[in-house]
Amino acid sequence: MITFRKNAIERALNRSPKNSLHDAKIKISDLFGCNVFSKNAMKQYLSEEAYRSIMESVNKGTKIEYKLADQIATAMKTWALSRGATHYTHWFQPLTGATAEKHDAFITILDELLPVEKFEGSQLIQQEPDASSFPSGGIRATFEARGYSAWDPTSPAFIIGDTLCIPSIFISYTGDALDYKTPLIKALSALDKAAVEVCQYFDKNVSKVYATLGWEQEYFLVDEALYHARPDLMAAGRTLFGHEASKGQQLEDHYFGSINERVLEFMKDFEIEAWKLGIPVKTRHNEVAPNQFELAPIFEETNLANDHNQLVMDLMEKTARRHNLRILFHEKPFAGVNGSGKHNNWSLATDTGKNLLSPGKTPKTNLQFLSFFINVIKAVHDYADLLRASIASAGNDHRLGANEAPPAIMSIFIGSQLTSVLDEILKKVKKGKMSPDLKTELKLNIGKIPQIIFDNTDRNRTSPFAFTGSKFEFRAVGSSANCSASMIALNTIMAHQLTEFKKDVDALIDAGLDKDEAIFNILRNYILASKNILFEGNGYSEEWVREAEKRGLSNIKTTPQALKEYISEKTASVFTKMDVMTARELHARYLIKQEKYYKKIQIEARVLGDLAINHIIPTALKYQSLLLDNVSKVKELFGNEYIKIAATQINSIQEISAHIAAINKKVHNMIEARKKANVIEDEFKHALAYSEKVKPFLDDIRLHVDTLELMIDDELWPLPKYRELLYI
């Protein structure tokens, strides 16, 4: 064991950077998308008719005619074979949180025992993975285990290694969604429909609205040998023990620092793989904590952006291994330094090339901007608890409200300039008809918005939902999450809100107001109804927690509680109205997430118990024996004087005994608490028991172990320490 830690350190120290595949002579644009069945590839391999049919499906959501499927499949196969592929798979995102694939070779043996490569329309369109082991939240009993995956033509097929991957949705035979993609596509389509209708007030040319997503992915890297010497990292993805290193992030010298050579080689490698897959990764930098980094791409349409995030996470994992590194996507792998998040930058774009959350050049486009902007605020205000539920996970509980990430209180930061614009609307807009002078004045002031925003440099890093000039940034999303969960919620509530807006405005127009008056009136009502969610101050402060409580904002601290919003009537109503998910599907998701929560804590508790009893206590006993030995020798030499001379050692012996006894007892009690929790049938109560009765033991036991780490001879300590994990 002792040699295990030492060996690990030695191996980690002696690594030289593995040179990346990077060839300076290749331009990014030369390889970008070469492994994607892209528009270019499609044009080359498909008939005009088939190409048009796919494009229409992408742009208008129309169905691809069945008779074209064979042709498309053959073209895809020919393209894939030309790039060395031997297998194909439907690639989907079950509710495990990871992606799933089951490879089949293209090979078929014909009657004459002739082997040929075959891939037909039916195989492109649908696959039946034996799905009995994917989480279904009770939707699909195991005797009726079949679910099927179906091609999503809006996200292009791609090749990884020797396999053609076909992005797919995953549903049960009863038609219920068992994945993240199905409801995401539905939410995006609901949003499209609602937003286009609102756009008609301002611009008749808009016929499609896309939600855009630009994620920023944070992660940690640790050396593989050190990782293997930490059973907690291996099983739980985070360290359950470890005293803070003397130097953590207090000097803030890691943030944007020069990137270490070994890490840079890793980054270069996965970036090349990402570019080949058409993923527009752009920015890389050191993050705040030591060994923490960030990656950000250029934003894309949300469904594609999310596929790309899932793919990148997979690529990073694989590439890290090739560099003898391990990547940690956990939200809080190390205590005492920052955790990792995944900011979801989100906006709305039209097919006329306009960003609806970016002010334009004329008062008209700015009224459009304000309409969308204020509708976002209203939607987030009305469904704050649902957004909170959408980001809930065992890992993210450690991060939210830990004074590094936004608190669990949902609030919106819009900056002082836009705050005054909203104030002005509140003050000046009159109910009903408005004088021509007033209308002109309002429009003139609105015309000044772009200048205001370009001058507006204030940024509030403590807000979970911040407006940053031309987009909102949902910062509370966890680093390991599938962005879909939050994007499904956000786009659904926005679709609903825009539908309400249209109804409200039309009602006033019918009552005799002109369009602008009606819009101003409704916007004023919305600001009034939702302004208590706007907060410009420090989201990390204690005052905000108190202030938020006064304002009646929720502050839901744990996952089991947060998830309850998935099964509220309000949530079921908005999801069914927008035709995104049924109450049954929501309930299934709720059960799966509760179960995942307590299983994660259960794994942590098991690993921690094992480490405490089998690694830490034996080490403490060994060191205590050394001390006892020393004390006996002191006694031999100095007789009764030994009590004074060996006072420090004697004190340590007693302290060690106390810690050992405490650890032993608490591990035992933790096991008892688990046994009690495990027999609870109700998933919520089960999760709650883990959150309230089991989880507190983790920190409690940790305290004893971390104290022992400081007392015990470094030579004996079995687990790589923070100073090693974070600095090698």
For binding to ligand ADP (CB under 6 A), which residues are involved? Answer: 212-214, 216, 296-299, 345-347, 355, 468, 470-471, 473
Minimum CB separation from Mg ion for residue 288, in Å? 13
Strands 325-328 and 158-160: unpaired
Q: Which H or E element spans position 466?
A: strand 465-467
Which option in ligand ADP, Mg ion, none does residue 621 bind, with CB closer than 5 to 8 A by kind?
Answer: none
Cβ closest to Mg ion, residue 211 vs residue 705: 211
Please identify, using beta-carbon distances, which residue of 468 and 619 lies nearer to Mg ion.
Answer: 468
Least distance to ligand ADP from the beta carbon of 600, Å?
A: 28
Q: What DSSP line would sit under 636-678, residue for residue?
A: HHHGGGHHHHTHHHHHHHHHHHHHHHHHHHHHHHHHHHHHHHH
Q: In terms of residues, how long is the chain?
A: 728
Report how far apart, in Å, the C-alpha atoms of 324 and of each of 8, 263, 284 are. 12, 11, 20
> Least separation, in Å, of the C-beta of 485 and ligand ADP?
17
**CB contact set of 364 (below 8 Å; sequence gap of 6+):** 202
Closer CB to ligand ADP, 461 or 599, in the complex: 461
CB of 343 to ligand ADP, least distance (A): 7
- Closest CB to Mg ion among residues 137, 406: 406
- Would you count residue 342 as binding Mg ion (CB under 5 A)? no
In terms of Cα–Cα distance, which of 325, 295, 322 is closest to 311?
295
| CA angle 171–172–175, rounded 5-degree value | 80
> Residue 213 binds which entry of Mg ion, ligand ADP, none, with Cβ cut-offs from 5 to 8 Å by kind?
ligand ADP
Contacts of 704 (CB under 8 A, 6+ apart): 659, 662, 663, 666
On whether the CB atoms of residues 434 and 520 are closer than 8 A, the answer is yes
Which listed option, ligand ADP, Mg ion, none, makes contact with residue 234 (CB within 5 to 8 Å by class)? Answer: none
CB closest to ligand ADP, residue no: 214
What span, in angstroms and rounded, lies between the C-alpha atoms of 66 and 52?
14
Least separation in angstroms between CB 417 and ligand ADP: 17
Question: What's the CA gap between 346 and 212, in Å, rounded?
Answer: 6
C-beta closer to ligand ADP: residue 299 or 590: 299
Q: Phi and psi of 260, rounded to 5°? A: -60, 145
C-alpha distances (whole Å) from 294 to each of 149, 169, 252, 549, 612 are: 32, 29, 15, 33, 33
Q: Binds 690, which of Mg ion, ligand ADP, none (CB < 5 to 8 A, cut-off by type)?
A: none
- Paired with 297 in beta bridges are 281
Residue 101 interacts with which of ligand ADP, Mg ion, none, CB < 5 to 8 Å by class: none
Taking each continuous run of H as one helix and of E as one strand, the counts in the chain are 29, 18
Smallest separation, CB 116 to ligand ADP (Å)? 44
Crossing angle of helices 484-510 and 302-322, in 10° steps, is 170
State in angstroms the smallest separation of the CB of 346 from ligand ADP: 6
Find the shortest distance in angstroms from Cβ 294 to Mg ion.
9
Which residue is closest to Mg ion by CB? 343
Closer to Mg ion at the Cβ: 330 or 343?
Answer: 343
Q: Is 617 helix (H, G, I), strand (E, B) or coil?
A: helix
Which range, of 154-162, 335-343, 511-519, 623-631, touches Mg ion by CB under 5 A? 335-343
Binding range to Mg ion, per CB under 5 A, among 68-76, 306-314, 338-346, 395-403: 338-346
CB of 474 to ligand ADP, least distance (A): 11
Q: Distance from CA of residue 49 to its chain's centroid?
A: 38
Q: Give the residue with the Cβ less far from ligand ADP, 150 or 490.
A: 490
Q: How far is the CB of 349 from ligand ADP (least distance, A)?
A: 7
Smaller CB separation from ligand ADP, 214 or 560: 214
Among 140, 230, 343, 721, binds Mg ion (CB under 5 A): 343
Specify whether the CB–CB gap between 125 and 69 falls below 8 A. Answer: yes
Nearer to ligand ADP, 350 or 396 (CB): 350
Which of the listed partners (Mg ion, ligand ADP, none) does 207 bind, with a CB threshold of 5 to 8 Å by partner kind?
A: none
Contacting positions for Mg ion (CB under 5 A): 343
